[in-house]
């Protein structure tokens, strides 16, 4: 039999009924809320009841996790290049706007086949989490249509093709629509930039939680001149070391963000002697340096900012005016100098291990743990 793969995730019951009818049903892997808005499935059972996913066809927010399963066997049962037109009406009728797929090993032809079918849906936001993509993608789809999403999020997705995944995936997207791109826990952020097309509508690029990136990897990840509309750039917990290094990376990549989040990087306050001074993008008006382990105000800040966040650092004294840029909105809460000498004894207000204010203490652990990731920590390994 021949089935387009896109329906696989939503119509898995068909396949399983045809393949091997399962006996007594274990607890429901899928849950649909009373408003028919959110539906989430977690197929942890070794013999999952795929038919449970049928209820998700009415939901707007759908999350499907395959229990770390290897989906390669499904490739034998479907034809990823089958003409999706036979399913178009069905896919168009889906209410799904936000889809999360996760916890699986997926052959690239199957994943891209799913994207091809989803191009007929009204999906706006796609998230892939904890996925290993094996093999190479099929040739670029024919026809002008692509996936018309405005937001794409990837967390812990590995690709057999390495950094080439970005230009390959881009060819399956409708050009010029993507506004938000998040890539966390990436296995490769060294993109072959000459193959990457411009993202003309992309305003938010979030590369946070890639601790191996560092300023040395920045230019490879921020393909030069591919993000002309960028406003928000997040490089949280990315192993950045110096402001000068980041500034030089931004300059080399030609990005002009308005807001830059460098929180949760262990920044050195001084740059190496002999490092050239860097000119920050003139568009930059907000800089987040919270949780950066700073013991003093770092050198090399932009000369003028609307917002500067130095919260939750280790500043032992109030910054002098000549150390700070011209700034409209300065946050300093959670620094030791604001706590010592207050009405509490120091040992109660300070975390003795790290010298970090209590209000700031939780966050170092929370780095990289988004809600779903934390909830699904239990899911590991491939079945």
Kindly list the residues in this chain that would bind ligand NAG in the complex (CB under 6 A).
130-132, 156, 158, 263, 290, 307, 309, 311-312, 329, 331, 380-381
As measured in angstroms, the least distance from the Cβ of 281 to ligand NAG is 19
- Residues in the chain, overall count: 383
Smallest separation, CB 175 to ligand NAG (Å): 29
The distance of closest approach from Cβ of residue 246 to ligand NAG in the complex, given in angstroms and rounded to an integer, is: 18
Assign 41 to helix, strand or coil: strand
Cα of first residue to Cα of last residue in the chain, in angstroms, is: 26
Which lies closer to ligand NAG via its Cβ, residue 178 or residue 213? 213
Task: Work out how close the CB of 309 gets to ligand NAG at its nearest, in angstroms, rounded to a whole number.
Answer: 4
Return the sign of the alpha-carbon dihedral for residues 282, 151, 154, 147.
Answer: negative
The CB-of-114 to ligand NAG minimum distance in angstroms stands at: 17
Compute the distance between CA of residue 314 and CA of residue 293 in angstroms, rounded to an integer.
Answer: 6
Toward ligand NAG, which CB reaches closer, 4 or 157? 157
Shortest separation between residue 67's beta carbon and ligand NAG, angstroms: 11
Q: Phi, psi at residue 85, to the nearest 5°?
A: -60, -30
Strands 38-42 and 30-32 turn out to be: antiparallel
CB closer to ligand NAG, 256 vs 263:
263
Q: Using the minimum distance from each CB to ligand NAG, give the nearer residue, 85 or 304.
A: 304
Q: In this complex, which beta carbon is closest to ligand NAG, that of residue 176 or of residue 355?
A: 355
Which residue lies nearer to ligand NAG by CB, 51 or 285? 285
- CB atoms under 10 Å from CB of 286, counted, come to 18
**Distance separating alpha carbons of residues 106 and 112, to the nearest angstrom:** 10
Q: Cβ closer to ligand NAG: 274 or 378?
A: 378
State which residue, 120 or 159, has the beta carbon closest to ligand NAG: 159
* Collapsed DSSP state (helix, strand, coil) of residue 339: helix
Burial class for 365, CB neighbours closer than 10 Å (0-12, 13-18, 19+): exposed
How buried is 2 (Cβ within 10 angstroms: 0-12 exposed, 13-18 middle, 19+ buried)?
A: exposed
**Nearest distance from C-beta of residue 362 to ligand NAG, angstroms:** 11
Three-state SS at 258: coil
Q: How far is the CB of 292 from ligand NAG (least distance, A)?
A: 10
Residues 6 or more apart whose CB falls under 8 angstroms from that of 23 comprise none
From residue 183, give the alpha-carbon distance in Å to each of 32, 96, 264.
Answer: 28, 22, 16
Distance CA(241)–CA(349), nearest Å, equals: 28
Give the contacts of 212 (CB within 8 A, at least 6 positions apart).
239
């Amino acid at each position: 039999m021949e089935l387009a793969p896109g329906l696989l995730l939503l119509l898995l019951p068909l396949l399983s009924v045809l393949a091997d009818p399962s006996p007594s049903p274990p607890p429901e892997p899928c849950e649909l809320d009373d408003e028919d808005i959110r539906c989430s499935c977690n197929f942890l059972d070794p013999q999952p009841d795929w038919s449970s996913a049928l209820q998700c066809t009415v939901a707007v927010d759908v999350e499907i996790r395959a229990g770390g399963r290897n989906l390669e066997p499904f490739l034998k049962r479907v034809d990823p290049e089958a003409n999706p037109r036979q399913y178009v009406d069905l896919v168009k009728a889906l209410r799904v706007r936000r889809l999360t797929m996760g916890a699986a090993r997926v052959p690239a032809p199957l994943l891209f086949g799913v994207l091809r079918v989803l191009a007929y849906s009204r999906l706006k936001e796609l998230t892939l989490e904890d996925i290993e993509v094996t093999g190479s993608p099929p040739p670029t789809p024919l026809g002008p249509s692509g996936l018309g999403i405005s937001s794409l999020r990837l967390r812990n997705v590995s690709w057999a093709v390495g950094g080439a995944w970005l230009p390959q995936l881009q060819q399956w997207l409708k050009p010029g629509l993507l506004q938000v791109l998040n890539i966390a826990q990436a296995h490769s952020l060294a993109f072959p930039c000459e193959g990457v097309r411009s993202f003309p509508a992309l305003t938010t690029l979030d590369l946070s939680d890639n601790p191996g990136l560092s300023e040395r990897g920045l230019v490879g990840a921020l393909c030069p001149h591919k993000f002309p509309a960028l406003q928000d750039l997040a490089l949280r917990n990315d192993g950045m070391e110096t402001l000068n290094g980041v500034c030089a990376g931004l300059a080399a990549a030609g990005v002009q963000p308005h807001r830059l989040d460098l929180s949760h990087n262990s920044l050195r306050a001084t740059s190496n002697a002999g490092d050239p001074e860097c000119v920050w993008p003139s568009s930059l008006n907000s800089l987040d340096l919270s949780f950066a382990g700073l013991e003093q105000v770092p050198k090399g800040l932009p000369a003028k900012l609307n917002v500067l966040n130095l919260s939750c650092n280790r500043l032992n004294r109030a910054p002098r005016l000549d150390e700070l840029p011209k700034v409209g909105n300065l946050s300093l809460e959670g620094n030791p100098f604001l706590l010592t000498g207050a009405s509490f004894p120091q040992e109660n207000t300070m975390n003795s291990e790290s010298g970090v204010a209590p209000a700031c203490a939780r966050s170092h652990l929370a780095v990289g743990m988004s809600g779903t990731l934390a909830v699904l920590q239990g899911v590991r390994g491939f079945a």
